Amino acid sequence: MRAYIPSYQLITPPSLGEALDVLTAEPGIWRPFAGGTDLMVLLEAGKLPHKNYLNIWNIKELRGIEVTASHVALGALTTYTEVQQEKVLREEFPMLCQAASETGGLAIQNRGTLGGNIVNASPAADSPPALLAYDAEVELVSLKGARWVAYHGFHTGYKQMIIRPDELLTRIRLPRRAEKVQHYYRKVGTRKAQAISKICFAGTALVREEKIEDLRIALGSIAPVPLRCVKTEDALRGSALNQSAIDRAMTVLANEIVPIDDIRSTSNYRHQVSLNLLEDFLQQLSA
């Protein structure tokens, strides 16, 4: 059943300061509304219990992409289309661009935002594995001040996060790397487009003289939160890139993940495909 629109309130503060005033005056009462691509689905289905929304779409402090020598910082309202259009992201963070290009269709890519994808906190979201593998940080701002926190650790349980009701997620920061790393991103869904992930795999690696100097691996749609696979990373870091390292890493990953079972896929399928993707990632590095 559709929601009854007059029972909802939406206000549009013109600036970040005024938005934070509202969130501070009545914490938990006003919920941010960015592109609305997650929220409108719930509204249409009559499943949006929260009644008061703070439209943040016009807040210019939440827009723009800043590039410095050490990092790229994206405003929380950066859309998937904007991600794909940014040259430095295509060159240095291609997994984020790939995730953006495989998120929904063009309409969703024009309206859906990176900040919304993070705070919506779906374990099946496609950007989080790339953000984890790129060691992203997020900026949380309230009237009390701003804090940068590692994205790894931002989600504490299913749909639970460390963001407070008086805070907005304002920016996402990606550290730039001097070394030439390899990137591997795979979204596995029922279809090639407009699919919600059954598994999403993101990996980066720095390989020198057939030795894995550094690597990061993250999985989506596997656990209640997007997962950084630190045990598997530790098992591979510093090791030679050969078949025995690949076999060892697959054993570690098999023990590190406890895949979820849901309407989109089974735990067994997710378990097997995660291992297949890890093997493919590592074999491509050696190739």
Ligand X SMILES: Cc1cc2nc3c(=O)[nH]c(=O)nc-3n(C[C@H](O)[C@H](O)[C@H](O)COP(=O)(O)OP(=O)(O)OC[C@H]3O[C@@H](n4cnc5c(N)ncnc54)[C@H](O)[C@@H]3O)c2cc1C
Residues near ligand X (CB under 6 A) are 31-39, 41, 56, 76, 103-104, 108, 112-113, 115-117, 119-120, 125-126, 168-169
The whole-angstrom separation of Cα 117 and Cα 74 is: 13
Strands (E), the chain: 9-11, 30-33, 52-55, 65-67, 71-75, 137-142, 145-150, 155-157, 160-161, 168-175, 182-188, 199-208, 211-220, 227-228
From the number of C-beta atoms within 10 Å of its C-beta (0-12, 13-18, 19+), residue 144 rates as exposed
Q: Which of 67, 69, 77 is nearest to 115 (CA)?
A: 77
Closest separation in Å from C-beta 35 to ligand X: 3
Closest separation in Å from C-beta 45 to ligand X: 11
Closest separation in Å from C-beta 188 to ligand X: 12
Per the listing, tokens 């289309």 go with 81
Q: Strands of 65-67's sheet, edge to edge?
A: 65-67, 71-75, 168-175, 137-142, 145-150
CB nearer to ligand X: pick between 119 and 212: 119
Spatial contact of 56 and 33, defined as CB atoms under 8 Å apart: yes
CB nearer to ligand X: pick between 31 and 176: 31
Closest separation in Å from C-beta 261 to ligand X: 20
CA distances 214 to 7, 87, 98, 226, 245, Å, are 53, 25, 22, 20, 14
CB nearer to ligand X: pick between 44 and 247: 44
Spatial contact of 175 and 216, defined as CB atoms under 8 Å apart: no
Closest separation in Å from C-beta 26 to ligand X: 15
CB nearer to ligand X: pick between 171 and 228: 171
Closest separation in Å from C-beta 164 to ligand X: 10
CB nearer to ligand X: pick between 153 and 238: 153
Per the listing, tokens 């950066």 go with 78
Closest separation in Å from C-beta 19 to ligand X: 9
The residue number with the shortest CB distance to ligand X is: 116
CB nearer to ligand X: pick between 113 and 232: 113
CB nearer to ligand X: pick between 39 and 181: 39
Per the listing, tokens 């790229």 go with 72
Q: Which of 64, 90, 85, 67 is nearest to 75 (CA)?
A: 64
